[in-house]
Every structure is written in C-alpha cells, then in structure tokens.
Amino acid sequence: MAKFYITTAIVYANSRPHIGHAYEIVTTDVIARYRRMLGDDVYFCTGSDEHSINVYTKALEQGKDPQVYCDEMAKVYKDLWKRYGISNNDYVQTTEERHKKSVMQLFKKCFDAGDIYKGAYEGHYCKSCEAFYTEAELDEGGICKIHKIKADVVKEENYFLRLSKYQDKLLAHIQNNPSFLEPETRRNEILNMIKAGLNDISVSRNGQKWGIPLNFDTDHKVYVWFDALINYITAVGYASDEEKFAKYWPADYHIIGKDITKFHCIIWPIMLMSAGVPLPKKVFGHGFLLNKGEKMSKTRGNIVDPENVINVFGADAIRYYFASHITNGVDGEFSEDAIITCFNSYLANDLGNLINRSITMVEKYFEGVVPAYTEAAQTPRMKEIRESIDALATEYMKKMDVLNMSGALEDAWKRVAIANKFIDESAPWTLAKENKTEILGNVMYLLLEIIRVTSLCLIPVIPDTAKKIWDKLGIQYTELLPSFENEMKFGKLPVGTKVSKGEPLFPRIVDEEKEKEKGKKLK
C-alpha cells in the first residue's frame, strides 16, 4: 500500500459554509476516494482556521466565548461534510493543543535558524484577508483584489520571517520541480512573484488578545497565516507523533483555492525550508466557483448556502455536477439550473434510462438472469464495443491521476452513449421475435457490462449510488478496489447472476416554478 496524504485549505470559522467550500472539499474527497479505491493508504485532512481576529470579533458580537464559538462552527462544518459524504480522516481546529504545540515547535526552529527577527512594519493590511499587501498587490486606491474593500495602512512592531533569504532556493525548487505547483497558470504567477523579489513578512501581531502567544515574547501572538498553514503537519503528528509524521509527510496534495497560492507556494515552503521540514509534493490551485460570473464571498453578498442546495437536490446531484461539469483548475459557474440540467441529462436520461431499459429487457427475455456471451454470435460491432470497454480503465485512470475528473467521467459517459445507441442499433425486441437468442444474449451482456464498468468509475464520485447499481446487477463489490484495472475488463459480470430493476435510481428533478410557467402559457 502506497501512502497518500491529501488536504484541503482550512475554512475561516467566522462564517458559515458557502457552496465554494463544498466544491473544494467534494473535489478533494473524490481524489481521496479514488486513491483508496486503488488500494492506497489515504490520509485526508481538513479543518478550521480559528485564530483570526475576525473570528474573535464575531464571537464577541454573539456574546460567546471565542473557543465555544469556534467549537460550534467546527460542528457546523463537520455535520455538513457528513451529509456531503466526505471521507476525511481528520479535522484540525487550530485552537487544539496539538496544533499549538506544532506551531510553537516550528516557530522555534525558524527562530533558532536565525530566520525570524524583530522589526517594524508599515504598509497595507486587508482586514478580511488578514493579510499584508504591497501597493503593487492591490488595485488602484489601495483596494483589495479579493474582497474589493480598501486596505488599512498600519504601523506596528512585529517579528519577521526572512523570505528574501530563501528566494533563490525556492525559485530553483519550483523551476526544477514543475509538478510542485499546478496548473501551469498558477505556477507562472508564483514564479513571476518570486523573480520580482520577495520581501520579508510579518509572522506575529503585537497586542492581540486572541491567538497563540510567543513563549519568549508574550506581547506577540503568532500571525494567523503562519499559524494556519501549520495545520497540515499537525494532522499527521508533527511535534506529537514522530512515527505517524514519518509515515505520511510530505503531503502528496494540497488542494487550495487559486487566491491563496502565494501563502501555500511561497510562505509555506519557506517556513518548512527554514525549519528543516520536507516540502509538500504538490499544491493544486483550483479555480473559483462563480455566481453569475463573480467569486462567492460573504463580503460581496452572493453566497449560495450548501445546506439549502443539498436539501433540494441531495448529495449525488451536487457531487456529480462538481466532478463532471467543472474543469478542475479553472473557474466554474454554479447555478440551480445547471444542477437540474446535469442531473436530468446525464444521470436520469443517459445512465438511469440505460439501467432501467437494460434490466427490464433481461427480465423480459431471460427471466432476469445474466445470459452468456457467445463468441460465435459476436458481430464486428460487438467486438468494437468489447474493445471500448477494455480501453476504459486506462483512459479513466490516466485522467484521474492528473485530477481531470470531468475528463475521466466524460470517457465513462462515452460508453453509456454507446450502449444507449446500441439498443436502437441492435433492436433487441426484433431479435427476440426472431428467436435469435445467442445474438440477443450478447447484446444484453454488453449493455450490462457497460453499466457495471460505469458503476466502478462512479465509486469515487457517488459511492452510495454505485452500490445501488451493484444491487441491481446482483454483484458484490466494495469501495476498495485495488484490482480496479482487472475488474474493468470485459467479461467480469458472472453469467447466471440474477438482476433486479427495482426503483429508479435517478428520478428526474422537476423545476416547479418553470412547470407552473409552462402551465400558464398553455392556458
């Protein structure tokens, strides 16, 4: 078993989840489930960023102790991720003692290396980002590019990390290891930042009431971004479990939003270099989930509530939409209309109808028993379809291995389309009338095999539905399928197995408002 450690960015605890959070964690979950399916020893971590001043302010506004507030918000996220079928192994709250221990150990290593020093900062600071910016990094008038608000000008005494010392080393690492940061557009952005020159950054805040105090200067709290990034090593035992840390670190994937690549690809690796800790293998900066062309954020007031969405559509519709209809690495649009269209077209019409029609015919023509596939009755078209089934595993894995989930599912759905077309081409009802039993048996077996291999491709995306498909086919699998390539080969569906149509898996989603409008027009 190969180890595979994957993380999401951790969420700010000062607000409830929005659909962008769901997109990131579902995408990461699909990757984690895929690697588990292949037999890897997967560790999947997410968590909450809780030492933000915005979190502290929010707690006080609600009349709550900050820790009580953070625990309540963590439960909100944990409960929602269960509903979305997220299979994370760990959830790090940055207020946990194990995390504080990690932060202090890493900070001390950087300090002992001579890379943290005391100085004065004067410049721009965005309260929403809780980040310092140069004028060049802001829009005209000192406006934050992300939150579209004016950054404050602040002056304070802080401790600084010597980013400049590691500029050449980091540049060489990224240039020599292009897979460290993907996609290429993100990598080029970071390379340009490094080549333009790195300024030392603040890693503490003076006079704050909330945060992890420096043990050698208690007037200072660890800067929230320095604190938050360390969650990735906290989760796998840094400063608390040497054996676990040696097993899982370095991370194989950090999955993050493209707006925080600077923190993860400049600040984080330099922190690790300074402390003598190996760098993560890959950082992948996904695009934004857009609402009418704009990034969703509380500041902009365009947030979609992922709890409301799952209440309406269920987890399957949303998970499948994220994986199949948003190209990982670029921005993608989210709308309820798109969810409905995707579900009805791809799941209800394409796959759902294929399953329903195929099993109905097996029940009608073969008493619900999987017929044998007869080589003597094989036509050239049948041979083509067999070869297409055998080729799917390689195509699917090649794309999943590079996080191209939409491409992998597109390949699977090409087979679904072939099957639906083959029903019309072969006309099983005519074959039955003409008593061409062997040819009819071949047609049925090919259809059922396409359903079976498609269900295996769906294990990482909609695992509960994959199991329901297996029930209909009368077969037994688990979500762990280290023999995936072998099981994807044609002919693995046992002859003589009893199939059962049962209830439809994907009842069409009806937009009630649109149906009412149609009714009005007809009148």
Q: 45 catalytic, yes or no?
A: no
How far apart, in whole angstroms, are the C-alpha atoms of residue 109 and residue 276? 8
Give the DSSP per-residue string, 382-449.
HHHHHHHHHHHHHHHHHHHTTT-HHHHHHHHHHHHHHHHHHHHHH-HHHHHHTT-HHHHHHHHHHHHH
Among 45, 70, 129, 342, the active-site one is: 129
Q: 110 catalytic, yes or no?
A: no
Q: 295 catalytic, yes or no?
A: yes
Among 78, 244, 298, 399, the active-site one is: 298
Q: 101 catalytic, yes or no?
A: no
Q: At what angle do helices 167-176 and 268-275 cross, to 10 degrees?
A: 110
Asked if 138 and 144 touch (Cβ cutoff 8 Å), the reply is yes
Please report, for the chain, how many H helices and E strands are present, in that order.
21, 17
Q: Which two tokens stand for residue 198?
A: 């790195």
- The 3-class secondary structure across 8-58, one letter per residue, is ECCEECCCCCCHHHHHHHHHHHHHHHHHHHCCCEEEEEEEEECCCHHHHHH
Among 3, 78, 127, 147, the active-site one is: 147
- The 3-class secondary structure across 66-115, one letter per residue, is HHHHHHHHHHHHHHHHHHCCCCCCEEEECCCHHHHHHHHHHHHHHHHCCC
Among 220, 286, 295, 325, the active-site one is: 295
Residue 400 φ then ψ, to 5°: -65, -35
Residue 398 falls in which region: left (phi positive, over 0), alpha (psi -120 to 50) or beta: alpha
Helix (H, G, I), strand (E, B) or coil at 125: strand
CA-to-CA dists, residue 147 to 107, 124, 282, 301, 304, angstroms = 29, 14, 27, 11, 17
Asked if 216 and 107 touch (Cβ cutoff 8 Å), the reply is no
Asked if 270 and 311 touch (Cβ cutoff 8 Å), the reply is no
Q: 129 catalytic, yes or no?
A: yes
Asked if 280 and 422 touch (Cβ cutoff 8 Å), the reply is no
How far apart, in whole angstroms, are the C-alpha atoms of residue 179 and residue 231? 22
Name the CA dihedral angle for 478, 480, 486, 488, rounded to a multiple of 10 degrees.
Answer: 60
Among 45, 70, 110, 144, the active-site one is: 144
Among 21, 124, 258, 286, the active-site one is: 21
Q: 21 catalytic, yes or no?
A: yes
Q: Which two tokens stand for residue 499?
A: 């199939």
Give the DSSP per-residue string, 483-498.
THHHHTSTT-SPTTPB
Return the closest-CA partner of residue 460 out of 414, 501, 412.
412
Q: Where are the alpha helices (DSSP H) in 145-302?
A: 167-176, 184-195, 224-229, 231-234, 242-248, 261-262, 268-275
Residues with a catalytic annotation lie at: 18, 21, 126, 129, 144, 147, 295, 298
